[in-house]
């Protein structure tokens, strides 16, 4: 990623490509300011994060400017195939730990089980999108969805279950797949009822009270930290500083995407993000109204809904693997050469 970023910035043509993203240069430029603020407040993690986010944005914006339908499909299929390996490794982790720690939650190749859950919610939505437009590959995508649901059950991320459900339902309903949506929702409700009567099916239900208590403490600290620096924040991962100052529950972020944004970047920073997001939404809305690029538009909307829902209780998008996969899916909004594949226009 770093080498790709350096290559893009050193070449004039590539450098111009990233500036064509609506308000992209404003967003990228803000992280330079955020890095300076992080240095001012002694937020060393924040400085590193600013450069990491800058790197991901530069690469994603460049990819968006050169994206083609075939390349996008290849990236999404590669992600689906990679998720199978991740799920198999998670199963191995669970089996190897089960005898000594039955409640162990595998994290596969990721930072922790919640980040693995976030990856799964993205993959399931991507697999449903690909199955919808690639009928010949449906057995593969069905297998991808199945084994990832096993991985999600093992990592036991309740936030990921909720976010995935919201994203999947949004995609299916907007595609007018009402029967499939109804079947999915019925199965999920039956599973929840079964867990209620048989707690051993999903033991994490018993820890909801403790988890909620910790999060309430974090949210209280994050809000008071935001009030101290309301305009520009203290840079990424500012909660690590706030928790030491206020003595609240110690963790790396606010466990709420919206509070985390306010604490890290302040009102001005959130305004920059909001301006960028509004520009993207306007473009997506135009495509939806004229029914162009519909499949990828709905994929982007569904993934965004999943991020926002998951963001109520966690900030899993704020990580290299999760953030990069989301941004790779976002690059599909830059596709222009739809005549490259005669079936693309028909399916989209």
Which tens digits make up the pLDDT trace of 109-164? 998 999 999 999 999 999 999 999 898 999 999 999 999 999 999 998 888 999 99
Q: What is the DSSP letter of 255?
A: S
pLDDT value at position 40? 92
pLDDT at residue number 192: 81
How far apart CA 39 and CA 142 sit, in angstroms, is 48
The predicted model gives 297-313 an average pLDDT of 92
User: Average pLDDT in the 159-181 region?
Assistant: 91
Give the pLDDT score at 336: 66
CB within 8 Å of 156: residues ≥ 6 apart:
105, 113, 202, 203, 204
Q: Write down the pLDDT at residue 293.
A: 64
> What is the rounded (10 degree) CA torsion for 347, 79, 278, 318?
170
Nearest 5°: CA angle at 62, between 28 and 29?
Answer: 10
Per-residue confidence at 198, pLDDT binned at 50, 70, 90? confident
C-alpha 348, offset from chain centre: 23
Q: What is the DSSP letter of 229?
A: S
Distance CA 216, CA 312 (A): 12
Residues above pLDDT 70, as percent of the chain: 93
pLDDT at residue 209 in the model: 58
Q: What is the mean pLDDT of the chain?
A: 87
The residue count for the chain: 348
Query: Which residue blocks in 201-293 are alpha helix, DSSP H?
Result: 208-228, 239-246, 257-289
Closest CA to 37 of 264, 222, 272: 264
Residue 343: the pLDDT is 46
CA separation for the pair 311, 259 (Å, rounded)? 9
Average pLDDT over residues 100-107: 89
CA terminus-to-terminus distance, the chain: 30
Beta-carbon contacts of residue 180 (< 8 Å; ≥ 6 apart): 172
Mean pLDDT of 337-343: 43
Mean pLDDT of 263-269: 94
Position 206 confidence tier, pLDDT thresholds 50, 70, 90: low
Sign of torsion over alpha carbons 235, 240, 245, 249? positive
């Amino acid at each position: 990623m770093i080498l790709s970023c350096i290559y893009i910035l050193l070449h004039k043509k590539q450098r111009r490509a990233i500036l064509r993203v609506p308000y992209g240069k404003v967003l990228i430029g803000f992280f330079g300011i955020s890095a300076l603020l992080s240095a001012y407040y002694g937020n060393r993690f924040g400085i590193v994060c600013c450069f990491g986010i800058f790197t991901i944005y530069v690469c994603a914006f460049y990819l968006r400017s050169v994206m083609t339908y075939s390349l996008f499909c290849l990236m999404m299929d590669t992600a689906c195939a990679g998720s199978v390996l991740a799920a198999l490794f998670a199963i191995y982790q669970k089996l190897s730990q089960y005898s000594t720690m039955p409640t162990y939650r595998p994290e596969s190749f990721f930072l922790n089980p919640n980040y693995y859950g976030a990856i799964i919610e993205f993959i399931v939505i991507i697999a449903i999108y690909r199955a919808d437009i690639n009928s010949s590959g449906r057995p593969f995508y069905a297998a991808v969805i199945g084994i990832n649901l096993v991985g999600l059950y093992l990592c036991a991320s309740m936030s990921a279950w909720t976010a995935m459900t919201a994203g999947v339902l949004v995609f299916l309903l907007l595609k007018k797949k009402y029967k499939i949506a109804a079947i999915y929702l019925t199965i999920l409700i039956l599973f929840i009822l079964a867990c209620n009567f048989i707690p051993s099916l999903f033991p994490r239900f018993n820890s909801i009270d403790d988890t909620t208590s910790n999060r309430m403490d974090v949210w209280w600290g994050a809000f008071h930290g935001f009030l101290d620096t309301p305009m520009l924040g203290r840079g990424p991962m500012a909660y690590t500083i706030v928790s030491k100052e206020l003595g609240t529950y110690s963790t790396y972020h606010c466990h709420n995407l919206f509070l985390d944004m306010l604490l890290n970047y302040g009102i001005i920073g959130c305004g920059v993000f909001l301006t960028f997001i509004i520009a993207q939404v306007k473009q997506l809305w135009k495509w939806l109204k004229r029914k162009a690029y519909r499949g990828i538009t709905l994929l982007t909307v569904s993934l965004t809904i999943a991020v926002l829902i998951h963001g109520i209780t966690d900030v899993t998008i704020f990580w290299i693997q999760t953030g990069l996969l989301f941004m790779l899916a976002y690059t599909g909004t830059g596709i222009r050469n739809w005549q490259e594949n005669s079936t693309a226009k028909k399916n989209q």
